[in-house]
Amino acid sequence: MIIYPAIDIIDGKCVRLSQGKFDQISVYGDNLVEIAFKWKEAGSKWLHMVDLDGARGKKNSNPEKIKEVALATGLLIEVGGGIRDMHSLENVLNNGVSRAIIGTAAVKNPEFLKEAVKEFEDKIAVGIDAKDGMVAIDGWESKSSLQTLEFAKRIEDMGVRTIIYTDISRDGMMMGPNLKAMEIMKEAVSMEVIASGGVSSITDIQELNKIGMPGVIVGKALYNGAINLKEAFELMK
């Protein structure tokens, strides 16, 4: 199982939200390259980065910060937030990023998703953010009318190979992942499912590994010291 340390960005700073609420922000620094190197030195090959300003439709300098991290560290990086057309998608993938995560646009503009998958194949992932069993959009601030499993099967038929599945109610809350929901999603589709939301201990990572999740994103637990990433990698060996 791949562990993906997370760097969520607002105004060029590394932050964590609680349940995706923008009025509940913890800031962990503004030197993103330094933070990324910390996770690389702990043994990470991948990094999960989200432009939270972009997710809310705001123009900002975060893409340049992400490019700087990619070029400086050489890490494999997946990036989400504000990728809603081919122009923004190409900009992300031309900046040293290995995989682009399409979220809101996958719901609102399925033709764009089809075009993206046709053009870039496994460099495309879709973020499925669950709120009361429904797909959340617009930086988690709105709920769509799509059920998560229904949507997952729909995008699988389009050729999507990877999804990042987040339980918003658990995200940033340090209460453990929704193991049942993650397992149901993994069993329902043949896509690679990366679990996100609520991971608060190495035990949580081990439990996700037991149910066969191929990947897990870890955020707040790294920044508050609840998980030692180097120890987590050693255990997973």
Of 46, 156, 58, nearest to 97 by C-alpha is: 46
Q: DSSP letter string over 210-226?
A: HTT-SEEEE-HHHHTTS
Which one of 51, 53, 129, 204 is the catalytic residue? 129
Angle, CA of 161, 22 and 86, to the nearest 5°: 35
Beta-carbon count within 10 A of 187 CB: 11
DSSP assignment letter at 198: -
C-alpha–C-alpha distance, residues 17 and 6, integer Å: 12
52's enclosing H/E stretch is helix 52-55
Q: What is the pLDDT of residues 33-80, one digit of tens each?
A: 999 999 999 999 999 999 999 888 888 789 999 999 999 999 999 999
Q: Active-site residue 11, yes or no?
A: no
pLDDT category, 236, cuts 50, 70, 90? confident
Q: Cβ neighbours of residue 224 under 8 Å, at least 6 residues apart?
A: 174
CA–CA separation, 133 and 96 (whole Å): 34
Calculated CA dihedral for residues 59, 141, 173, 226, nearest 10 degrees? -20
Confidence of residue 172 (pLDDT cuts 50, 70, 90): low
Give 130's DSSP letter: E
CB-side exposure of 44: number of CA atoms within 13 Å?
27
Sequence-distant (6+) residues with CB within 8 A of 90 are none
Give residue 171's pLDDT band: very low, low, confident or very high (50, 70, 90).
low
pLDDT at residue 141 above 70?
no
The full set of domains in the chain, from first to last, is: 2-236 (3.20.20.70)
Show the tokens assigned to 68: 């700087």
> Would you say residue 147 has pLDDT above 80?
yes
Distance CA 114, CA 112 (A): 5
Give 123's DSSP letter: G
Residue type at 74 in one-letter notation? G
For residue 155 the two structure tokens come to 């995008």
- pLDDT of 77-132, one tens digit each? 999 998 999 999 999 999 999 999 999 899 999 999 999 999 999 999 999 998 88
The C-alpha angle 36, 38, 41, rounded to 5 degrees, equals 110
Among all chains, which residue has been given the structure tokens 């997710």? 55
Nearest to 173 by CA among 19, 28, 5: 19
**What pLDDT, on the 0 to 100 scale, is given for residue 173?**
63
User: Considering just the CA atoms, what is the radius of gyration of the chain in Å?
Assistant: 16
Concerning whether 129 is annotated as a catalytic residue, the answer is yes
Tell me what pLDDT residue 133 has: 85
